[in-house]
Amino acid sequence: MSTLDRIKNVAVELLKIEADRVQETSRFVEDLGADSMQSIELVAAFEEEFDIEMDEDAALAVKTVIDAVKFIDKVLAEG
Protein backbone atom coordinates (compact mmCIF):
# COMPACT_ATOMS: atom_id res chain seq x y z
CA MET A 1 0.00 0.00 0.00
CA SER A 2 1.36 3.42 -0.93
CA THR A 3 2.08 6.25 1.50
CA LEU A 4 -0.84 8.14 -0.02
CA ASP A 5 -3.26 5.26 0.53
CA ARG A 6 -2.14 4.80 4.11
CA ILE A 7 -2.52 8.54 4.84
CA LYS A 8 -5.99 8.52 3.29
CA ASN A 9 -7.00 5.54 5.44
CA VAL A 10 -5.78 7.24 8.62
CA ALA A 11 -7.63 10.47 7.73
CA VAL A 12 -10.88 8.64 6.92
CA GLU A 13 -10.77 6.66 10.17
CA LEU A 14 -9.75 9.53 12.44
CA LEU A 15 -11.93 12.26 10.92
CA LYS A 16 -14.92 9.94 10.30
CA ILE A 17 -15.32 11.08 6.69
CA GLU A 18 -16.06 9.42 3.36
CA ALA A 19 -12.96 8.13 1.55
CA ASP A 20 -13.82 9.98 -1.67
CA ARG A 21 -13.45 13.31 0.17
CA VAL A 22 -9.73 12.68 0.68
CA GLN A 23 -7.82 13.86 -2.40
CA GLU A 24 -4.14 14.72 -2.81
CA THR A 25 -4.95 18.43 -2.72
CA SER A 26 -7.34 18.18 0.24
CA ARG A 27 -6.45 20.43 3.16
CA PHE A 28 -6.84 18.68 6.51
CA VAL A 29 -8.53 21.64 8.23
CA GLU A 30 -10.37 23.55 5.51
CA ASP A 31 -11.46 20.64 3.30
CA LEU A 32 -11.60 17.65 5.65
CA GLY A 33 -12.79 19.46 8.76
CA ALA A 34 -9.97 18.61 11.18
CA ASP A 35 -9.97 20.80 14.28
CA SER A 36 -6.81 21.61 16.24
CA MET A 37 -7.10 18.53 18.44
CA GLN A 38 -7.68 16.28 15.45
CA SER A 39 -4.63 17.79 13.75
CA ILE A 40 -2.50 16.66 16.67
CA GLU A 41 -4.22 13.26 16.63
CA LEU A 42 -3.45 12.95 12.91
CA VAL A 43 0.26 13.50 13.59
CA ALA A 44 0.17 10.81 16.30
CA ALA A 45 -1.74 8.43 14.00
CA PHE A 46 0.75 8.98 11.17
CA GLU A 47 3.62 8.29 13.57
CA GLU A 48 1.97 5.04 14.62
CA GLU A 49 1.00 4.01 11.07
CA PHE A 50 4.49 4.55 9.70
CA ASP A 51 6.47 3.75 12.88
CA ILE A 52 8.27 7.10 12.75
CA GLU A 53 8.89 10.13 14.95
CA MET A 54 7.78 13.45 13.48
CA ASP A 55 8.91 16.87 14.66
CA GLU A 56 5.61 18.25 15.95
CA ASP A 57 6.10 21.83 14.73
CA ALA A 58 7.13 20.67 11.26
CA ALA A 59 4.33 18.11 11.13
CA LEU A 60 1.68 20.66 12.11
CA ALA A 61 2.89 22.86 9.24
CA VAL A 62 1.72 20.15 6.83
CA LYS A 63 -1.56 21.43 5.42
CA THR A 64 -2.55 19.06 2.58
CA VAL A 65 -2.62 15.34 1.97
CA ILE A 66 0.17 15.55 -0.63
CA ASP A 67 2.25 17.64 1.80
CA ALA A 68 1.86 14.81 4.31
CA VAL A 69 2.93 12.23 1.72
CA LYS A 70 6.07 14.22 0.88
CA PHE A 71 6.86 14.90 4.53
CA ILE A 72 6.43 11.28 5.62
CA ASP A 73 8.34 9.93 2.62
CA LYS A 74 11.20 12.29 3.52
CA VAL A 75 11.20 11.13 7.17
CA LEU A 76 11.17 7.50 6.03
CA ALA A 77 14.03 8.10 3.59
CA GLU A 78 16.12 9.73 6.33
CA GLY A 79 15.35 6.65 8.43
Residue 35 catalytic? yes
SS3 content of the chain, % helix, strand, coil (to 5): 65, 5, 35
Question: Which residue of the set 5, 20, 35, 51 is catalytic?
Answer: 35
Helices (H) and strands (E) in the chain, counts: 4, 0
Amino acid at 1: M
Q: Which residues are known to be catalytic?
A: 35
